[in-house]
C-alpha cells in the first residue's frame, strides 16, 4: 500500500519518513512540501542521506492517484485549507494538525485564532485516539490525529472516565514537553541559549489542546467540568510527561487503582502500565510509540496521581498516525512501530 506525506520536511513529516522506511506494508509514494520543490529530501535533512525522494508540489489529484493514504503533517491552519481538495478524491486522509479535531463550531476559532475548516468536513473527521476509537477509525475517511498533550493526557485519564470513577470535577493536568513540540522554525523561545538550562511555562491556562481534551472527556463522561491544564517546556528535545491530579468518586488503594489501569489496557500493546510504586520517565519511551503510565493514590489527600509519558513526535504525532493507518488498512496495529525505545 502506498502513502504520501504533505509537509514532509517538518518534524512530524520526518518522523513519518523514519518509521515508514521500515514499515512492512506501507510504502512512501511521494513527499510534498509547500516550498523546496525539486530538491531531494536529504538535501535539507542530512540524516536522510541514505534515502532518495524528490520533494514535490502539493497536488491533491496526483497524490490520490499514487496513494491510498495521505498524511497531512502541516502546521495548524494549513490542512483546514487543503482538506477540501482531498475530500472528494479516493484517498484516506490522516491529519496530524489540530485543524479537524474540534467538533463544536466556534471552538477552533476561539482557541487557535484561525479560520476553521468547513464544518461539514470537520464532522466527517474521526478522532484518532487509537486505543479508544478503533471501530470508528476502521471506517473513517478522514482521521484527526490527536495532539501530543491530549494523547498523553487522555490515555492517562481514560480508565477513570470510562470505568465510572470520574466525578467530572477537579481534574488538574500539569504537562511538560520537550522542545521539538514547538516545531522546526527557529524562534526566540526555542533559541538554544535561551532554552538550555531553562524551564518555562507557556500559554498559561490558554493552551489550544484544552478543548480537545475536554471534548473527549465529555464523550466518556457527559458531566465533565472545565479542566485545569498547563504546559511547560523542558530543556530536552523529545518527550512529554503529563502529571495529573484527579479526585475520584470512591476511596481506593494504590493496588486497586493500578489494577484498574492494568485491566483497561490489557490488550493494548503500546500502553505499558508501570509496576506498583513505579513511575515512568520520558526517556523510557524515547523514539517509540509507547505510552507508559504510573498511578498512585494519596491517602492523605484522597487524590489520584496519574503520570503518563509519551514521545511527543511518535505516540504524540507520527507514530499514532501510522498506528491509525494500520487500523485503517486492516493491518496489525503494531506494524512498523514495534521497536524498542532508544536508551540511553
193-200's contacts with Cβ under 8 Å and 24+ in sequence apart are: 195/233, 195/235, 196/235, 197/235, 198/233, 198/235, 199/232, 199/233, 199/234, 199/235, 200/232, 200/233
Catalytic residues: 148
CB atoms within 10 A of CB 279: 18
DSSP string, 311-343: -TTIIIIIHHHHHHHHHHTT--TTTTT--PPP-
Nearest approach in angstroms of CB 62 to its own copies is 25
Nearest approach in angstroms of CB 194 to its own copies is 6
Cell of 99: 485543524
Nearest approach in angstroms of CB 142 to its own copies is 28
Nearest approach in angstroms of CB 49 to its own copies is 5
Question: Is the CB of 86 or the CB of 270 nearer to its own copies?
Answer: 270
Asked if residue 41 lies in contact with residue 48, where contact means CB atoms within 8 angstroms, the answer is yes
Asked if residue 322 lies in contact with residue 336, where contact means CB atoms within 8 angstroms, the answer is yes
Asked if residue 83 lies in contact with residue 95, where contact means CB atoms within 8 angstroms, the answer is yes
Amino acid at each position: 500500500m502506498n502513502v504520501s506525506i504533505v509537509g514532509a520536511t517538518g518534524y512530524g513529516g520526518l518522523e513519518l519518513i523514519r518509521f515508514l522506511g521500515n514499515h512492512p506494508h506501507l510504502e512512501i509514494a511521494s513527499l510534498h512540501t509547500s516550498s523546496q520543490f525539486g530538491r531531494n529530501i536529504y538535501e535539507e535533512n542530512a540524516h536522510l542521506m541514505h534515502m532518495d525522494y524528490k520533494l514535490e508540489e502539493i497536488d491533491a489529484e496526483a497524490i490520490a492517484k499514487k496513494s491510498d493514504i495521505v498524511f497531512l503533517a502541516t502546521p495548524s491552519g494549513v490542512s483546514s485549507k487543503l482538506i477540501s481538495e482531498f475530500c472528494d478524491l479516493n484517498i484516506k486522509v490522516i491529519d496530524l494538525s489540530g485543524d479537524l479535531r474540534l467538533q463544536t463550531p466556534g471552538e477552533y476559532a476561539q482557541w487557535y485564532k484561525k479560520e476553521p475548516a468547513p464544518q461539514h468536513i470537520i464532522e466527517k473527521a474521526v478522532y484518532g485516539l487509537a486505543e479508544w476509537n478503533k471501530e470508528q477509525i476502521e471506517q473513517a475517511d478522514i482521521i484527526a490525529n490527536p495532539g501530543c498533550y491530549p494523547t498523553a493526557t487522555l490515555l492517562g485519564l481514560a480508565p477513570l472516565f470510562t470505568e465510572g470513577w470520574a466525578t467530572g470535577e477537579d481534574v488538574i493536568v500539569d504537562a511538560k514537553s520537550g522542545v521539538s513540540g514547538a516545531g522546526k522554525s527557529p524562534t526566540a523561545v526555542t533559541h538554544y541559549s535561551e532554552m538550555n538550562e531553562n524551564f518555562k511555562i507557556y500559554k498559561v491556562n490558554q493552551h489550544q489542546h484544552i478543548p480537545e481534551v475536554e471534548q473527549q472527556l465529555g464523550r466518556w463522561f457527559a458531566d465533565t467540568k472545565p479542566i485545569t491544564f498547563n504546559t511547560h517546556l523542558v530543556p530536552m528535545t523529545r518527550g512529554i510527561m503529563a502529571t495529573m491530579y484527579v479526585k475520584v468518586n470512591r476511596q481506593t488503594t494504590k493496588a486497586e487503582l493500578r489494577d484498574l489501569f492494568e485491566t483497561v489496557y490489557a490488550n493494548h500493546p503500546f500502553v505499558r502500565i508501570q509496576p506498583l510504586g513505579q513511575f515512568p520517565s520520558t526517556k523510557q519511551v524515547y523514539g517509540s510509540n509507547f505510552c507508559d503510565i504510573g498511578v498512585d493514590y494519596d491517602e492523605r489527600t484522597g487524590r489520584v496521581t496519574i503520570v503518563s509519558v509519551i514521545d511527543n513526535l511518535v505516540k504524540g504525532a507520527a507514530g499514532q498516525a501510522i498506528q491509525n493507518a494500520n487500523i485503517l488498512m486492516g493491518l496489525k496495529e503494531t506494524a512498523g512501530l514495534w521497536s524498542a525505545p532508544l536508551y540511553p
